[in-house]
Structure 1
């Protein structure tokens, strides 16, 4: 009988360890500046500032840092003729609890004039904005929530999948074409709705479950490729993103069962040794 109990306990542990685990889903809300789970500080716009988000939900092991970039240099047009422009750092800007974050681009004079306070591709200057999501470990970006958009809200999502360690040099001073050959991959192009205010609109952005620690959300840029976006000036403010950890973690109940099984094994062995 003791050997039977020992075998059963071992079976419980083996079954638990072999059971599928669930990756944790996290939502990072840029409209939430209230601790715990806050994203901030986001103060007066300053060139090159960074938004930091604490762990959400509290107790996870991933943090998020967000920074802004925008194109500059020669080239005209909004999304159609931007291939000669290179990217530089820009300033993240908090746009309120209902809208999220936008970008002030230095090449635009850090102007708050609409739509230049958003992540946009201004038709007058040809400048295109992007926000970089830097996670402390690889995450599967699942969705992007838009809290505000202009008359059009097309955007693109890119992941860093390069073989060399990530560096901001893969963005700064590079054209879109150079970024695509330097480790960045276009994941999706979203034909976003226009004139979003309320309610917010959530878009699934990663059907292939690409995993990376570094992601870009860009106003539509034809130089990145992609199709399905409409013509016009695109301007968005990102309220939140949802991610799923690329490494599965055991469910709490399965951990408890595993502990119970290990305890039973230890108890059986102790009785046999007496």
Structure 2
């Protein structure tokens, strides 16, 4: 009887009643675009905002740790060209690191990559990425973390990534498309964490999202943007907050109850 009268009072009251019964508010799904072209200099990490206000934090990594494990380095920023990596290892480990073209994300010596963290509660589906500079070649690997919990990046090798929750595709000769061109990822993965790396033979078994000619040692590029869909339950995307919706529901139900009582008194 109550649900029948509630339906007759309109969809707003029915929706409010559903919220009060404990159904969760729908997550926001927004199309977003991030540009990594607004900074210069160096930093351990850097956050960028999409027009909708949801930040992504970038950090630099390479496989220079003991046994080839991943170690955090420094981001280098190159204005409109985008983001590079200085992995911090000297000439004995990675000769010429920090000097062009190894001021970019490269695989000459160590293999560099950039981690994207979209924050707790946010799932990003990367539809495309772009580079703003390259030298010689740009074979690129894009991975999403779909494992449980937080990825233990600092204790993994490159090959170990693929057995610890990371998956994705490789892209050959991205430079042939030119700079500032959106490269379709052809991925259906959503994750809080993404990795964009220079190619390494550890990823030879990945399926190809572009091209077929892969090699390591001469790839160098600067990463300058991504587009995709962000699903979030946070307040950074403009949808009603669960608490706000519940308060509206309480008020609507109080109004309905008073009206119902008057009609039946």
- The two structures have a TM-score, normalised by structure 1, of 0.68
The whole-number CA distance in structure 2 between the counterparts of 1:201 and 1:91 is 25
Q: CA separation in 2, counterparts of 1:52 and 1:21?
A: 23
SS of aligned partner of 1:133: strand
After superposition, the Cα gap between the structure-2 partners of 1:196 and 1:95, relative to the gap in structure 1 and judged at 3 Å, is: farther
Task: Tell me if structure 2 keeps the 8 A contact 1:156–1:186.
Answer: no
C-alpha separation in 2, matches of 1:245 and 1:216: 16
Indicate if the aligned counterparts of 2:6 and 2:14 stay in contact, CA closer than 8 A: no
Contact 1:51 1:65 in 2 (8 A): yes
Q: Cα offset for 1:270?
A: 3.4
Secondary structure at the aligned position of 1:151 is classed as coil
Partner of 1:216 in structure 2?
A: 195
Structure 1 vs Structure 2 CA RMSD: 3.9
Aligned mate of 2:33, from 27, 47, 57: 27
Deviations 1:215-273 (A, max 9, x none): 111111120232544234222211112242234799869x9xx9999977655543443
SS at match of 2:192: strand
Q: 1:203 to 1:14 in 2, by over 3 A?
A: farther
- Give, in whole Å, the separation in 2 of the partners of 1:186 and 1:120: 20
Superposed displacement of residue 28, structure 1: 1.9
Residues 231, 243 of structure 1: alpha-carbon distance in 2 compared, 3 angstrom cutoff: closer
1:96-245 to structure 2, matched below 5 A, reads 96-97=79-80, 99-107=81-89, 108=94, 111-122=97-108, 125=109, 127-137=110-120, 138-142=122-126, 143-170=128-155, 174-181=156-163, 183-194=164-175, 198=179, 200-205=180-185, 207-208=187-188, 210-224=189-203, 225-228=205-208, 229-232=212-215, 233-245=218-230
Q: 3-state DSSP class of the match of 1:94? A: strand
Q: Write the deviation string for residues 195-219 of structure 1: whole angstroms up to 9, x where unpaired.
A: 6665x111232522x2222211111
The answer (yes or no) to whether the contact 2:32–2:52 under 8 Å persists in 1 is no
Cα distance, 1:52–1:9 mapped onto 2, change above 3 Å: same
Partners of 1:262 and 1:236 lie apart in 2 by: 55
Change (3 A) 1:132 1:261: closer
- Tell me the SS of whatever aligns to 1:201: coil
Q: Secondary structure at the match of 1:72?
A: coil
TM-score (norm: length of structure 2) = 0.70
Change in Cα spacing, 1:189 to 1:266, as seen in structure 2 (3 Å) is same
Match of 2:63 among 55, 65, 71: 71
Shift of 1:132: 0.8
2:50 is aligned with 1:56 = yes
Any unmatched runs of 5+ in structure 2? none
Find out whether 1:270 has 2:263 as its counterpart: no
